[in-house]
Amino acid sequence: MKAADIGHFFATLQAANPHPETELEYSTPFELLTAVLLSAQATDVGVNKATRKLYPVANTPQQILDLGLDGLCEYIKTIGLYKSKAKHLLETCRILIEQHGGEVPRTREALEALPGVGRKTANVVLNVAFGEPTMAVDTHIFRLGNRTGLAPGKTPLEVEQKLLKRIPAAYLQHAHHWLILHGRYVCQARKPRCWECSVSAWCKFKPKTAAPA
């Protein structure tokens, strides 16, 4: 995709959704960190169902620790891999209390040092909670980067680095959400809904799909 086309691509997404937001429900950086940690290989809808019950009871590191492993598992057992996620979350809470005064750190290095928190999760927290212009490359963004020609790459890191380099600064703050939502609802994995796509004019995907008869 040409540099000039990238500007049109994101201007169009911005016009349709000027203030995109994550579909994970949260009210504090810690709630966001918890939700993102729980969302690995799970849907946002499924995570939200669990956290709607969890957060009114425990939404701070100390309160989560006070639940203990069995208590926490009761709230998140509907989420895939809940046992390992519960262990990671409890250890993360312990580290937050012991090393960060119970607050979510604002650096990638400190975030990635937390159990269960990888580069993607750290990028989400930095972008959504703290307004950093980062790019969390999940399966949707990895697919879009390659399919559209926006930022082809063999690894999520390669796609991330290209996106950060190619996306105009004016769009970086919200680019992560525009791409995720576009990939989730329009440029879907099995069959992209090209007939509904507002940015198809700049997309390099050749076999455009037609609307079902």
The residues, ordered by sequence, that sit 6+ positions from 59 with a Cβ below 8 Å of its Cβ are: 27, 28, 30, 31, 34
Q: Which of 138, 154, 165, 191 is catalytic?
A: 138
Q: Which of 85, 87, 120, 154 is catalytic?
A: 120
Q: What is the percent of the chain with per-residue pLDDT over 70, rounded to a whole number?
A: 100
Task: Map tokens 């203990």 to a residue.
Answer: 68
Amino acid at 38: L
Distance CA 188, CA 2 (A): 23
Q: To the nearest whole number, what is the mean pLDDT of the chain? A: 94
Q: pTM (2 decimals)?
A: 0.88
The residues, ordered by sequence, that sit 6+ positions from 205 with a Cβ below 8 Å of its Cβ are: 147, 148, 149, 192, 194
Q: Is 120 a catalytic residue?
A: yes
pLDDT tens, residue by residue, 129-161: 999 999 999 999 999 999 999 999 999 999 999
